[in-house]
Amino acid sequence: MYQLCPSILSADFNRLGEQIKILENEGVKWLHIDVMDGDFVPSISFGMPVIKSIRKESGMFFDVHLMVTEPGRYIQDFVDCGADSITVHAEACEDLERTIELIHDAGVKAGISIKPATPVNDISHMLEDVDMVLVMTVQPGFGGQKYIDECTEKIQELRELIDHEGLDVDIQVDGGINEDTLVTVMKAGANLFVAGSWVFKDDIAKNVRNIQNKIHEIADTLE
């Protein structure tokens, strides 16, 4: 299952509802929602009120990525405001196993994210317990960065581990995803693609159509 996951961090917040509607009309199923606390990462984005507000108007799958120190404190709050999936950073959790338990206990899908410098080995023991692994292919906290080439090997390593163990775990990539790097990450084994400026710059509907077509083209070559 290949999915484009537009990141609203790159949207125009003055027209957020309108732009999300464009995504839905173009058949986009997932919406990537980056929550940053100014502690785990330097930037501050937004929190529950924004998610609760857009949830009222959207039937999309809300893929909430918490770049937050000790995110276990907020799991229920994000579920209550509309999250369908919550991804936490391995580096941000004192007790990662317990945090993943809290997410599943709240009734939503659970993901683990790792920074570019974090080895796959740090989370390999958790693969049976999660629905998704998010490989950050830039340093978390800022948009518009260039894809870090060394992350390709991590995607490949993850895909091999997941397939070897016969697990149903998605691999999501976030950071520097564009027409060139999409090919790279798909060949490496990723199936969920977070994109910000590639989606929201200029004509959103046209961008989405082009990206979806590109995903299908590459997928056909991988079969």
Task: Please indicate if the annotation marks 17 as binding a ligand.
Answer: no
Task: Please indicate if the annotation marks 141 as binding a ligand.
Answer: yes
* DSSP result, the chain: --EEEEBGGGS-GGGHHHHHHHHHHTT--EEEEEEEBSSSSS-B---HHHHHHHHTT--SEEEEEEE-SSGGGGHHHHHHTT-SEEEEEGGG-SSHHHHHHHHHHTTSEEEEEE-TTS-GGGTGGGGGG-SEEEEESS-TT-SSPPP-TTHHHHHHHHHHHHHHTT---EEEEESS-SHHHHHHHHHHT--EEEESHHHHSS-HHHHHHHHHHHHHHHHHHH-
Task: Please indicate if the annotation marks 32 as binding a ligand.
Answer: yes
Task: Please indicate if the annotation marks 63 as binding a ligand.
Answer: no
Task: Please indicate if the annotation marks 43 as binding a ligand.
Answer: no
Task: Please indicate if the annotation marks 61 as binding a ligand.
Answer: no
Task: Please indicate if the annotation marks 107 as binding a ligand.
Answer: no
Q: Is 174 a catalytic residue?
A: yes
Q: Which of 34, 63, 131, 170 is catalytic?
A: 34
Task: Please indicate if the annotation marks 142 as binding a ligand.
Answer: yes
Q: Which of 163, 174, 202, 203 is catalytic?
A: 174
Q: Is 39 a catalytic residue?
A: no
Task: Please indicate if the annotation marks 197 as binding a ligand.
Answer: yes
Binding site members for a divalent metal cation? 32, 34, 65, 174
Catalytically active residues, by annotation: 34, 174
Binding site members? 7, 32, 34, 65, 141-144, 174-176, 196-197
Binding site members for substrate? 7, 65, 141-144, 174-176, 196-197
